[in-house]
Amino acid sequence: MRDHYVVTGGAGFIGSAIVRSLLEEGARRIVVVDSLVTGRESNLEEVRQSIEFHRADIRNYEEVAPLLRGAAVVFHEAAIPSVPRSIEEPEFTHDVNVNGTFTLLCAARVGEVGRVVYAASSSAYGDSQVLPKVETMAPSPKSPYALHKLAGEYYASVFASVYGLDTVSLRYFNVYGPRQDPSSPYSGVLSIFMKSVLERCPPTIFGDGEQSRDFTYVEDVAALNLKAARARNVSGKTYNGGNGGRITLNGAWALVQKIEGVEIPARYGPPRAGDVRHSQADTAAAARDLGHAPRFSFEEGMRRTLAWYRHDGGL
Ligand code: UD1
């Protein structure tokens, strides 16, 4: 009987949000698989008694396969999720993101998993001229990370068509929210903005700050994952996981200052290699096929995120 859920990268920022959402929905058995390379056990602190935690690397078939066997759904979030890190460490990030995903899909197939929901990335679109970005557009990855995530998506789709493994890919658009680690140079920009404002330090914006992103609140992404786990007739397909909006970095920093009631002019540095200029999701297919409707406006998400960093995030 398929009775359990697996979340790879479940000690990470997005994975731990999926774990929480599963628990809220009454899931009985949740198995978290995480190497703790970027994930942290503290992200699971208050739910630790309700889940099974396994420190394991998705590249290790022998370790991972028994944990997946017979799972109802595997949410595959484990990855090294950074454009600049993929440029600086191409072998390691390829190994985890591409070979790890391949290994995981092999284990899911042999273990007769009910469905794999794969964390793909909006970076696959690259610099498309047309906005919003829609799933029918040809991908055009600009960085190793974008290519890794696209390769995983193609593998998921091929495992569906060739082996009959049920898979769905979700192209996340710049996810932010509580538990995003702000402490590394590879951290997501909004977590860096939160740290900067609470420490009253100017952030460095790469380029002119007029690049834009469809920043998506982590609870909306978790909700989308649960919808994708249940939707019918979606195997082998890819959907955008975005909010549908678009905010420039200058606009985002202005909002952070407004919420906090401070004025701290940002510093500006050279543009970052591999950066996409604009990013915005077309959300129609996810709404139609998965029944997804994002709940959090950018301002609401930012207020909640800042409150978390202030009270729980140790800043
Ligand atoms: C990309 C992907 C996203 C993926 C994410 C994982 C796109 C459009 N999105 O996000 O799908 O999940 O990688 O990391 O490719 N920046 C600064 N100052 C900083 C840090 C960043 O100005 O201190 C700028 C970056 O140059 C970039 C923007 O902020 O223009 C967003 O950067 P980041 O948060 O790293 O995410 P993306 O690279 O957009």
- Is the pLDDT confidence value at 314 over 70? no
Distance 189 CA to ligand 1 centre (A): 6
Q: How far is the CA of 109 from the centre of ligand 1 (A)?
A: 33
Dist. CA 15–CA 22, nearest whole Å: 11
pLDDT in tens, 120-175: 999 999 998 899 999 999 999 999 999 999 999 999 999 999 999 999 999 999 99
Closest CA to 53 of 17, 6, 18, 102: 6
For residue 272 and ligand 1, the question of a CB distance below 6 A is answered with yes
pLDDT at 313 over 90: no
- What is the share, in percent, of the chain residues with pLDDT greater than 70? 99
Q: What is the pLDDT of residues 88-120, one digit of tens each?
A: 999 999 999 999 999 999 999 999 999 999 999
Residue of 118, 145, 176, 309 marked active site: 145
The verdict on the CB of residue 215 being under 6 Å from ligand 1 is no
Mutate to test the pocket of ligand 1, among 127, 174, 195, 268 (most ligand atoms within 8 A of CB): 174
Domain at 4-173+218-243+280-294: CATH code:
3.40.50.720
Q: Mean pLDDT across the chain, nearest whole number?
A: 96
9-31 average pLDDT score: 97
- Per the annotation, the verdict on 217 as an active-site residue is no
Residue 293 Cα distances to 95, 131, 135, 220, 303, angstroms: 34, 19, 17, 8, 20
Going by C-alpha positions, the residue among 147, 223, 221 that lies closest to residue 180 is: 221
Does the C-beta of 189 come closer than 6 Å to ligand 1? yes
pLDDT tier at 287, thresholds 50, 70, 90: very high
Atom of ligand 1 nearest to the CA of 188: 34
pLDDT attached to residue 1: 62
Q: Inform me whether the pLDDT recorded for 84 exceeds 70.
A: yes
Atom of ligand 1 nearest to the CA of 209: 22
Domain ranges of the chain: 4-173+218-243+280-294
For residue 191 and ligand 1, the question of a CB distance below 6 A is answered with no
Q: Is 276 in the pocket of ligand 1 (CB under 6 A)?
A: yes
**Which residue reads 């192209």 in tokens?**
171
Q: 194-239: per-residue pLDDT in tens?
A: 999 999 999 999 999 999 999 999 999 999 999 999 999 999 999 9
Give tens-digit pLDDT for 29-71: 999 999 999 999 999 999 999 999 999 999 999 999 999 999 9
Cα separation, 286 vs 170, in Å, equals: 9
